[in-house]
Amino acid sequence: MTDTILELENINKSFGSVKIIDNISLKIKKGEVLVILGSSGCGKSTLLRCINGLENIQSGNIRLDGQSLVTNQPNQRFLRQKISMVFQNYELFPHLDVLQNLILGPTKVQKRNKEEVISEAENLLQRVGLLDKKHSFPRQLSGGQKQRVAILRSLLMQPELLLFDEVTASLDPEMVREVLELISELAKEGRTMIIVTHELQFARAIADRIIFMDHGTILEEGSATNFFNNPQSQRVWEFLSVFNFGEFN
């Protein structure tokens, strides 16, 4: 895990007069799992959306494989396809069945062979126990099933970087585990991931590195062990205490 795949350099983002991202710089290495923690409104989700190009930044630079994502260049669209994001609310097309949702991006955007994509999609559905749901519509699925389909849809785009934005926030507690287990499997495969979550036990188990954001800045950064066992700021102590981590051991 030596090669930098994503670099953020002095990123700034405001909505009107309100600064949401305040001069953030960050490097992500290939195969690294980075977890972003912080209170609601601190800028976590906005940062992911900036990385994925869903929000424009006011200043700074974002580079993927050394190439800028914020300057106009001929291969911009191709670069963006190397990043895939999974949202809190699934974002599945309600009028398409599961298989149609899965193959739409690879066949329409990436122009890949339809039969090959279908085969890959069915293999992934088999892996997560949802092959029998391939012709079901999103309304016929549970929240956990919909979120797993959303994750598989991202995988089918063959991204270099996966972004997860509070993917368990809309799920009932009993459905959370099946989604987190799938993400854990992806981490073991060496996938490069940035995860925004409030599931602290999950963060502790999966993260190679944790950053804690506060008011649009990175207040603290370190390994999961150091973050939970030896927080360096009073603000992080307060945050962890709310979640009953006690001595953080």
Q: What is the CATH number of the domain that holds 63?
A: 3.40.50.300
Give CA angle at 180 (91, 51), nearest 5°: 50
For the chain, what is the mean pLDDT?
91
> Does residue 131 fall inside a structural domain?
no
Look up the domain containing 184 and give its range.
4-90+160-242
> Does residue 234 fall inside a structural domain?
yes
> Does residue 108 fall inside a structural domain?
no
- In DSSP terms, 86 is beta-bridged to 164
**What percent of the chain lies above the pLDDT cut of 70?**
94
Q: Is the pLDDT of residue 94 over 80?
A: yes
Q: Is the pLDDT of residue 249 over 60?
A: no
Give the mean pLDDT of 31-51. Answer: 94
Q: CA quadruple 49, 54, 55, 60: dihedral positive or negative?
A: positive
> Does residue 49 fall inside a structural domain?
yes
> Does residue 215 fall inside a structural domain?
yes
> Does residue 150 fall inside a structural domain?
no
State how many domains the chain has: 1
- Residue 210 phi/psi, 5-degree rounding, is -125, 135
Q: Residue 108 has what DSSP assignment?
A: I
